[in-house]
Structure 1
Amino acid sequence: MVNVRRRAALLVAMIPLAACGARVAEEPEAATVTVPRCGEDVEYTTPERAVAYEGGSADKLFALGLTEHVHGYVMPPANPPVEESPWAAEYAKVEFLGDDLLNKEVVVEANADLVVAGWRSGFSDERGITPEILDGLGIQSFMHTESCYNYPNHPERVTPFEALFTDLERLGRIFGVEDRARQVVADLKDRVEKVKSQVPQGDPVPVFLYDSGTDQPFTAGNQVPPNEIISFAGGRNIFADLDERWTQVGWESVVRAQPEVIIILDYGDQPAQEKIDFLKTSPTTATLPAVVNDRFHILDYNEGISGPRNVDGLEGFADYLRELPR
């Protein structure tokens, strides 16, 4: 079991006293709670200077009413402007720390005591910022459960929406707001069940999620929220059999599947209309049923990555499918 803050305290305690016989009053040890970080049990103390990477991480903290515990956020260019967020007022109360990928330097400079991000979508071996590295610096870390299915040594496999609920409950325990977390999760689950109860009759509509890419497209496998946004709303992700998160496929496999609806993931730095224009003009995709019938649905970036806005994305796509002629 990892105890990050206690490890840092022990390092300080090992420094010799400056004067022989000096007596130092010991500070009471901070209360800790054991919460899984992917498949590993970790002891946390209540964070006071949390740093969030991307909108999904910050949204989870803000949804739980934890703004006072958040020091700031790192928001890459792909993320749409925070002013468009339901929690825009909360973003305005904390510090903007950068518009690049997450890195160790910005976290250390912020004097963070918790970093919230996903594995391989924030934390990264290549960029030198992993939970293990932060453990060694006495900085706590929390990873989105949705990203844990292939986390080295401590994987955890949970379906994407259940992973969202798990994260909110675990963060509630870490920050001591369990009752608030239970209420937030209950409200989100009620909204999901309402959508499921209104699924249109008939066979699920084949749906292709277009993330990006022209030579080869990036799309959603079964380990990310759009897979369940599609299925809960009454569609069928044409790549639901791919045991991946965001992954590259070939256009030939898209053509074979003949999607009747295409979801466009709308990035902050790559407008959805540019992607639609490409699909309409490319000879490979121009004859797809979804393109011929102009059946495009725009999914906001923060509705597609793990966060409370997944449920907004589900409701919006469900409304779209219900309005399609059958």
Structure 2
Amino acid sequence: MNETVSRRRTAVRTALASLTATALLAGCGAEVEPSGSGVRKVTVNRCGEPVEYTTPRRAVVYEGGSADKMFALGLTEHVHGYVMPPANPPVTESPWAAEYAKVKFLSDDLLNRELLVEAKADFVVAGWNSGLSDKRGTSPEILDGLGVQSFMHAESCFNYPNHPERHAPFDGLYTDLERLGQIFGVQQRAATVVADMKRRVEAVRAQAPSTRTPVFLYDSGTDQPFTAGRQVPPNDIISFAGGRNIFADLDGRWTQVGWEAVVQARPEVIIILDYQDQPATQKIKFLKTSPKTKNLPAVVNDRFFILDYNEGISSPRNVDGLEKFAAYLRDLRS
């Protein structure tokens, strides 16, 4: 073949490949801006706000849910380090323990601006009002000014000022994986991961009974309990598995309620969210001894299900938690 013709055909194939990739991104709701410098830029929603991202190289992830989303997409090489507060279980217990070992442990404290600057981070993954917060100087606006790109879990966008988004919790998980796929240029990998999760979820839902077991999620608190409203993953876990969250009518995320409302709902199962620094055994002991709760049907019948912390916050492990809880409910009925 003539060398000049060969070069022209190669150039045409390259151009077509580039146009195809751009079209695929546009179809996913992202817009790619060509760059003569070779820096890839893409516009993706951060909550309800379109934000231009360049491909991150030194990401910092806050809590297990953020890290696991990156690891599930095969993005370990883009992660500089992780911040893991004491509530999180040891990373050695994670399905992605080998990936954690490849990146730096930065802190077991709350996320803060100084840590991100010191780490020379160019990207941070966290939730609104958990890792990203006005109070701690880590709002997206402040970080934008420092040159640190930020990504917020879609599930947490429910109460993000000025640009709120509403997602059912599992839909928020899928959205996060798809958006991260767009930012890092791994859309097909993200599509594959999400499709597998949806397949597993539908398999559970297909077995869910029509009679719904009343379920109370106990996060923490003795004077007043902290629990899950309908805007956080445990609500979907309970519902998809065949239960009924007794506080599903609360249009909020993690929220405080009164013990009187718990007693009135008479839950038959209690899900205990297991913190590393507030173990499930301690919470169960309280429920069994407190005059307010010791006569609840779930307590009398010793029906406690332990939900790992990283199965309860927005994380790929939500699906693991769902499968385990569904199996627990099926065993109760057998």
TM-score, reference length from structure 1: 0.91
The aligned residue for residue 85 of structure 1 is 94
Which secondary structure does the structure 2 equivalent of 1:239 belong to? coil
Task: Indicate the structure with greater helix content.
Answer: 2
1:27 to partner: Cα distance: 7.7
Pair 1:211–1:182, CA change in 2 (3 A): same
Q: Are 1:35 and 2:36 an aligned pair?
A: no
State how far apart, in whole Å, the 2-side matches of 1:59 and 1:66 are: 10
Q: Are 1:97 and 2:106 an aligned pair?
A: yes
- State the AA in 2 paired with 1:67: T
The aligned residue for residue 319 of structure 1 is 327
State how far apart, in whole Å, the 1-side matches of 2:167 and 2:149 are: 22
1:31 to partner: Cα distance: 2.0
| Cα deviation 1:9-58 (Å, max 9, x = unaligned) | xxxxxxxxxxxxxxxxx982622101000000001010010000000000
Q: Are 1:277 and 2:269 an aligned pair?
A: no
The aligned residue for residue 51 of structure 1 is 60
Over the matched positions of the two proteins, sequence identity in percent amounts to: 77
**Runs of 5+ unmatched residues, structure 1:** 1-5, 7-25
State how far apart, in whole Å, the 2-side matches of 1:35 and 1:54 are: 22
Task: Show structure 1 runs of 4+ deviating over 2 A.
Answer: none
State how far apart, in whole Å, the 2-side matches of 1:29 and 1:320 are: 52
Which secondary structure does the structure 2 equivalent of 1:213 belong to? coil
The aligned residue for residue 175 of structure 1 is 184
The one of 123, 135, 142 equivalent to 2:144 is 135
RMSD across aligned positions (CA): 1.3
- State the AA in 2 paired with 1:93: K
State how far apart, in whole Å, the 1-side matches of 2:69 and 2:48 are: 20
| Cα deviation 1:133-168 (Å, max 9, x = unaligned) | 011111100000000011000001010000000000
The aligned residue for residue 165 of structure 2 is 156
State how far apart, in whole Å, the 1-side matches of 2:190 and 2:102 are: 21
The one of 202, 222, 226 equivalent to 2:230 is 222
The aligned residue for residue 134 of structure 2 is 125
State how far apart, in whole Å, the 1-side matches of 2:36 and 2:270 are: 58
The one of 259, 271, 275 equivalent to 1:251 is 259
State how far apart, in whole Å, the 1-side matches of 2:308 and 2:139 are: 28
The aligned residue for residue 67 of structure 1 is 76
| Cα deviation 1:217-242 (Å, max 9, x = unaligned) | 00000110000000000000000011
1:274 to partner: Cα distance: 0.5
Q: Are 1:166 and 2:184 an aligned pair?
A: no
Q: Are 1:296 and 2:307 an aligned pair?
A: no
State how far apart, in whole Å, the 2-side matches of 1:193 and 1:27 are: 44
1:325 to partner: Cα distance: 3.1
| Cα deviation 1:154-196 (Å, max 9, x = unaligned) | 0010100000000000000000000100000000000000000
**Runs of 5+ unmatched residues, structure 2:** 1-32
1:195-214 to 2 correspondences below 5 Å: 195-200=204-209, 202-214=210-222
State how far apart, in whole Å, the 2-side matches of 1:306 and 1:199 are: 22
State how far apart, in whole Å, the 2-side matches of 1:126 and 1:140 are: 18
Q: Are 1:287 and 2:291 an aligned pair?
A: no
Q: Are 1:108 and 2:117 an aligned pair?
A: yes
TM-score, reference length from structure 2: 0.89
